[in-house]
Amino acid sequence: MKLMNKQRIVTLLTDFGLSDVYVGVMKGVIAQINPSLKVIDLTHEIPPQNLAAGRFCLMNAVPYFPKETVHIAVVDPGVGSNRQAVAIEFAGGFLVGPNNGLFSGIISQNPVISAVELTNSQYWRTASPSTTFHGRDIFAAVGAHLASGVSLEELGTVINPESLVKLAIAECREKEGIVEGCIQYIDRFGNLITNIPGNLVIGKTWNVEIAEVSIPGKKIYSDSPIGSLIALVGSHGWVEIAVNNGNAQSKLQLNYGDGVKILLN
């Protein structure tokens, strides 16, 4: 296959961890196709099969990369099944991975320009891919070709963007001084990150009501005594619930999807 002249950045996000060779093998496949590509690891510590966590991390990482970056993401509990393998073009770049809701955060914020199902095996590592490792045999190879200048249309069959799977996450709702949302992500510190945008509370007095606890809204972690609960707007722009020098998930025993209510005063 003729190597094109493009040299787009490639990012990788997976739930593979780093104790096995899976991530390194994906990078090897990319290097076989175009060793000049710059590959950046977003994270490989997404909790296994946790699509909500992958969705959130990818959604919050993509805006910090140059346009035309190719983002390969593999959190794929349905690998080998009839779920589609897709590549998507949006204003900020390209997405390559399974059509299982992993990309729904990004496409909720960015209109899809075009999307294809990856049916052209010419751009796979092998025409007979493993049923358990599409990250190696399809996504890494396709991403490398796309980053090297192969057009989206060459990679497969055009599909309707409306067919792209969306994760079922409760919408944020605001009414009469009350904002309701849910926990959409939990980071390694145990911070509970909601789907409530920070701009709804900035400049106001507010409290989070959750798990029969009222938590005051503040600006920085140290506005609360060590070991105490606090709510604030994180660097990602969402309202989060934390414990100063502690773990809010352990303290409150909450998880993905649990409801959150904010009272605006």
Helix pair 22-33, 140-147: axis angle to 10 deg: 40
What type of residue sits at position 151? S
Q: Between the CA of residue 12 and those of 26, 39, 86, 213, what are the distances in Å?
A: 9, 7, 15, 38
Residue ranges per domain, the chain? Answer: 10-163, 173-264
Nearest C-alpha neighbor of 257 from the set 209, 190, 175, 186: 186
List, as one string, the DSSP characters of 157-218. Answer: EE--GGGS-----PPPEEETTEEEEEEEEE-TT--EEEEEEGGGTTTS-EEEEETTEEEEB-
The pTM of the full predicted model, rounded to 2 decimals, is 0.94
Q: Going by C-beta distance under 8 Å and a sequence separation of 6 or more, which residues neighbour residue 191?
A: 234, 240, 241, 242, 248, 249
173-264: which CATH number, 2.40.50.140, 3.30.390.50, 2.40.30.90, 3.40.50.720?
2.40.30.90
69, 63 in Cβ contact below 8 A?
no
Phi, psi dihedrals of residue 181, rounded to the nearest 5°: -155, -150
Q: Give pLDDT tens digits along the chain (265 positions).
A: 445 567 899 999 999 999 999 999 999 999 999 999 999 999 999 999 999 999 999 999 999 999 999 999 999 999 999 999 999 999 999 999 999 999 999 999 999 999 999 999 999 999 999 999 999 999 999 999 999 999 999 999 999 999 999 998 888 999 989 999 999 999 999 999 999 999 999 989 999 999 889 999 999 999 999 999 999 999 999 999 999 999 999 999 999 999 999 999 8
Please state whether beta strands 69-74 and 10-14 pair in parallel, antiparallel, or not at all (unpaired).
Answer: parallel
Q: Which residues share a beta bridge with 14?
A: 74
159 touches 118 (CB < 8 A): no
Query: Domain 10-163: which CATH class?
Result: alpha beta
Residue 94, classed as helix, strand or coil, is: strand
